[in-house]
Amino acid sequence: MSSYLKNVWAGFYTAVKGMMITSRHMFKKSVTIQYPDEKFDLPANARNKLVLDMSRCNACTACAIACPVNCITVEGVRVSPEDPHQEVHADGKPRKVWVTRYEMDLAKCCFCGLCQAACPSDAIKHTQDFEYSAYNKESLYFKYQILTPEQSAEKVRLLAEFKEKEAAAKAAAAEKAATEGKPVAPKKAAPKADEASEQ
């Protein structure tokens, strides 16, 4: 009988104690927020999703070299002087390299910020966006290049043609100089060992 009464008292006491704790916290200011309707403000230097400004990128590959997990792939081709489509960087200078490939695998990214620090043109930056989870890894593979594969192949072809013309012009100039009989300046012979010692 006594154990029964003790159990009844224990149940009543724990219920009252629980209600007292609940009533004490009921009128306190809430420390939680209703995510995702409410969100905390992130610091300005938060390192979350990476984004690339293609108008600034010059395909220098500094970000890919600095990346410790090899999640960035960069390829570029020099702009041919005969390219009809010339472009200007965000800083107003003419583009010297076309970015034919810029891909980033954010499934590998460790958000270290080394790519952002290495970029000389401030093209790659961390944002405050952290809500980009996906059901498959392919959704975390981002392709930032603007040129299509066909356009990239065209840029490569234009540069190859320009190099061929340049090489042909140099060869023609050398042949012309040879046929006109322009004397080639002889190389000065190095002094012999005994002559050098006498001097």
The pLDDT, as a whole number, for residue 68 is 95
The pLDDT, as a whole number, for residue 120 is 92
What strands lie across the sheet with 72-78, from one edge to the other? 72-78, 97-105, 141-143
The pLDDT, as a whole number, for residue 195 is 45
Whole-prediction pTM:
0.65
Cα dihedral across residues 52, 56, 59, 63: positive or negative:
negative
In which band, very low, low, confident or very high, does the pLDDT at 123 lie, cut at 50, 70 and 90?
very high
DSSP output for 34-95: -TTTS-PPPPTT---SEEE-TTT-----HHHHH-TT--EEEEEEEPPTT-S---B-TTSPBP
The pLDDT, as a whole number, for residue 197 is 42
Domain boundaries, the chain: 50-151
pLDDT tens profile 138-147? 899 999 988 8
Strand 97-105 versus strand 72-78 pairing type: antiparallel
Domain 50-151 has CATH 3.30.70.3270: yes
